[in-house]
């Protein structure tokens, strides 16, 4: 009874406690649910923002990729353009280097002629009455820069004005010297102190002063068509007047290089000019080159016409006893294929004899090529010594003031050396390759002979 009462009390107590706690739990659950709903809504908003930002970033990335592709394409085009420009720059530099020497000669000629006019100023103009004229010529002659076009025109006009002012246009018949040194009677037109022309029949041209002949000689320079026409016009106009001093020529060709152009002999070019300038010792070198070329062609046709067919010849064996032989290996095989009962030593000797019989036609002229290749540079050296001796003779006779007197000996010395090396080097190379071909054919013969010797030995061993 007591136990039942106690149980009832405990149950009531627990029921009351549970009832008291149920109210806070329900409120907490509702609060949690509300917060969960708010959190879920926030998560949805954040997800939408993330999706929106991702979409924008993808669009930006795509735009960047397109821009990058366009940039790469532009860079490729620019690189191609840069390469073309660099190639053009290289070509233009080559052209510039080629023209730079011509420009330097023109500048030097202008400066030299300006200084020449200044040095002879009293004969051209009165410095006191023409200070600006004199000062400008001084600037042209002293300048290190390339002269302006107006300076060149000014110098040219100065020379023409000096001719007109000098009143020394004279037309006379005089005795002059041809380029060969022969004395001829021709019309001579003297244009002041600057230029002298001649007319001999239908031929006209420039004259130069030759101290050695004590007179005027036809210059080495040959006038072109335009200059020839101007010279003929000058002769006609001067010839129609009573005195050349009263004539003012509009156009007349002048050597503005202070005599360098018309006095210098034209430099010959070409193979025959080089041979002629090389002296006597270059002719043996040329002869060696011709003979060497012929020998190389003949040896190449012979040696490379033989096939290295040792194996095929061994396979044919006794067939070669009646067949037409074409290669060295076939000759050796036929010699070894003769039916006999000789000993091994006799067969070896026969093989060596067959190989030695083929060597002369294989090695013919090879030693000659080697000797010719060795002689060529020695002949070139001999020509060099001869040219140097000639140069020292000229120096001892005339001194070393004129480089033209020394050029012949120096040219002979250098040309013979160059010719000797140009002949020797190809001949040595050809000899090397031909010798290699001979070795190949000899090894082919030895291989075929050894194979035939082995076959005959095996046949002797068999019962």
Res. 140: pLDDT tops 80: no
Which sequence spans correspond to the domains of the chain? 167-265, 275-461
| 210: region left, alpha or beta (phi > 0 left; psi from -120 to 50 alpha) | beta
The pLDDT value recorded for residue 125 is 42
Res. 164: pLDDT tops 80: no
| 201: region left, alpha or beta (phi > 0 left; psi from -120 to 50 alpha) | left
User: Which of 137-141, 221-225, 316-320, 381-385 is least confident?
Assistant: 137-141
Q: What count of other Cβ atoms lies within 10 Å of the Cβ of residue 167?
A: 14
Write the DSSP symbol of residue 251.
-
Q: How far apart are CA 420 and CA 377, in angstroms?
A: 4
Q: How far apart are CA 296 and CA 302, in angstroms?
A: 10
Q: Which of 379, 380, 382, 403 is nearest to 391 (CA)?
A: 403
Q: Which of 328, 324, 326, 298 is nearest to 440 (CA)?
A: 328
Q: How far apart are CA 111 and CA 105, in angstroms?
A: 10
Q: Are 123 and 166 in contact (CB under 8 A)?
A: yes
Q: Are 3 and 11 in contact (CB under 8 A)?
A: no
What lies within 8 Å, CB to CB, of 169 at 6+ separation is 163, 189, 190, 191, 192, 238, 244, 245, 247, 249
Q: How far apart are CA 42 and CA 39, in angstroms?
A: 5
DSSP line for 91-130: HHHHHHHHHHHHHHHHHHHHHHHHHHHHHTGGGT--TTT-
Q: How far apart are CA 113 and CA 256, in angstroms?
A: 6
The pLDDT value recorded for residue 428 is 95
What lies within 8 Å, CB to CB, of 69 at 6+ separation is none
Q: What is the pTM of this model?
A: 0.46
What lies within 8 Å, CB to CB, of 252 at 6+ separation is 160, 163, 191, 195, 230, 231, 234
Res. 229: pLDDT tops 60: yes
Question: Tens digit of pLDDT for each residue in 349-389?
Answer: 888 888 899 899 999 999 999 999 999 999 988 888 888 88
The pLDDT value recorded for residue 277 is 66
Both tokens of 274, joined, read 């080089």
Q: Which of 189, 192, 206 is nearest to 240 (CA)?
A: 189
- Per-residue pLDDT, averaged over 167-184, amounts to 79
Q: Is the dihedral of CA 390, 391, 394, 396 positive or negative?
A: negative
Whole-number CA gyration radius for the chain? 52
pLDDT higher at 223 or 124: 223
- Which range has highest mean pLDDT (80-89, 254-263, 397-406, 451-460)? 80-89
The pLDDT value recorded for residue 39 is 84
C-alpha angle 169-170-172 in degrees, rounded to nearest 5: 160
The pLDDT value recorded for residue 257 is 62
Q: What count of other Cβ atoms lies within 10 Å of the Cβ of residue 414?
A: 16
pLDDT higher at 376 or 1: 376
Main-chain phi, psi angles of 191, to 5 degrees: -105, 85
List the helix and strand counts (H, then E) for the chain: 12, 5
Question: Tens digit of pLDDT for each residue in 261-294?
Answer: 676 655 555 666 666 666 788 889 999 999 999 9
Q: How far apart are CA 447 and CA 327, in angstroms?
A: 14
What lies within 8 Å, CB to CB, of 146 at 6+ separation is 103, 106, 107
Q: Are 161 and 154 in contact (CB under 8 A)?
A: no
Q: Are 325 and 462 in contact (CB under 8 A)?
A: no
Average pLDDT over all residues of the chain? 77
Question: Tens digit of pLDDT for each residue in 49-73?
Answer: 888 888 888 888 888 988 888 888 8
DSSP line for 383-420: HHHHHHHHHHHHHHHH-SS-HHHHHHHHHHHHHHHHHH
Q: Which residue has the tokens 């010395």?
A: 413
- Which range has highest mean pLDDT (42-46, 223-227, 433-437)? 433-437
């Amino acid at each position: 009874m007591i136990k039942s009462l106690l149980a009832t009390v405990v149950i009531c107590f627990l029921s009351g406690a549970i009832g008291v706690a149920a109210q806070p739990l329900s409120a907490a659950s509702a609060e949690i649910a509300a917060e969960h709903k708010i959190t879920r809504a926030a998560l949805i908003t954040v997800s939408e923002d993330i999706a929106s930002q991702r979409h924008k970033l993808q669009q930006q990335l795509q735009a960047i990729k397109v821009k990058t592709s366009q940039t790469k394409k532009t860079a490729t085009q620019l690189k191609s353009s840069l390469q073309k420009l660099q190639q053009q720059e290289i070509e233009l530099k080559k052209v510039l280097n080629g023209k730079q020497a011509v420009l330097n000669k023109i500048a030097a000629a202008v400066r030299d002629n300006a200084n020449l006019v200044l040095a002879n100023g009293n004969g051209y103009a009165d410095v006191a009455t023409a200070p600006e004229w004199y000062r400008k010529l001084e600037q042209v002659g002293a300048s290190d820069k390339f002269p302006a076009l107006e300076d060149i025109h000014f110098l040219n006009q100065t020379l023409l004005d000096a001719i007109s002012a000098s009143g020394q246009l004279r037309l006379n018949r005089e005795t002059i010297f041809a380029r060969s040194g022969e004395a001829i009677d021709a019309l001579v037109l003297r244009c002041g102190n600057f230029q002298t022309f001649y007319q001999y029949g239908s031929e006209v041209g420039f004259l130069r002063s030759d101290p050695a002949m004590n007179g005027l000689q036809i210059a080495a320079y040959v006038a072109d068509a335009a200059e020839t026409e101007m010279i003929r016009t000058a002769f006609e106009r001067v010839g129609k007047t009573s005195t050349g001093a009263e004539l003012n020529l509009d156009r007349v060709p002048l050597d503005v290089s202070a005599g360098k152009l018309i006095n210098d002999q034209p430099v010959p070019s070409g193979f025959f000019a080089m041979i002629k300038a090389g002296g006597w010792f270059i002719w043996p070198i040329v002869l060696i080159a011709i003979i060497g070329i012929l020998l190389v062609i003949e040896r190449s046709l012979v040696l490379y016409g033989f096939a290295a067919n040792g194996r095929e010849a061994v396979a044919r064996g006794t067939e070669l006893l009646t067949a037409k032989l074409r290669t060295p290996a076939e000759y050796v095989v036929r010699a070894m294929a003769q039916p006999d009962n000789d000993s091994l030593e006799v067969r070896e000797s026969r093989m060596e004899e067959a190989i030695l019989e083929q060597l002369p036609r294989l090695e013919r002229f090879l030693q000659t090529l080697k000797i010719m290749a060795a002689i060529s540079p020695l002949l070139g050296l001999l020509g060099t010594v001869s040219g140097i001796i000639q140069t020292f003779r000229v120096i001892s006779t005339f001194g070393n003031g004129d480089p033209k007197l020394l050029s012949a000996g120096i040219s002979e010395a250098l040309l013979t050396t160059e010719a000797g090396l140009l002949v020797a080097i190809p001949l040595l190379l050809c000899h090397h390759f031909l010798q290699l071909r001979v070795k190949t054919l000899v090894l082919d013969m030895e291989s075929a002979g050894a194979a035939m010797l082995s076959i005959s030995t095996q046949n002797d061993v068999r019962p």
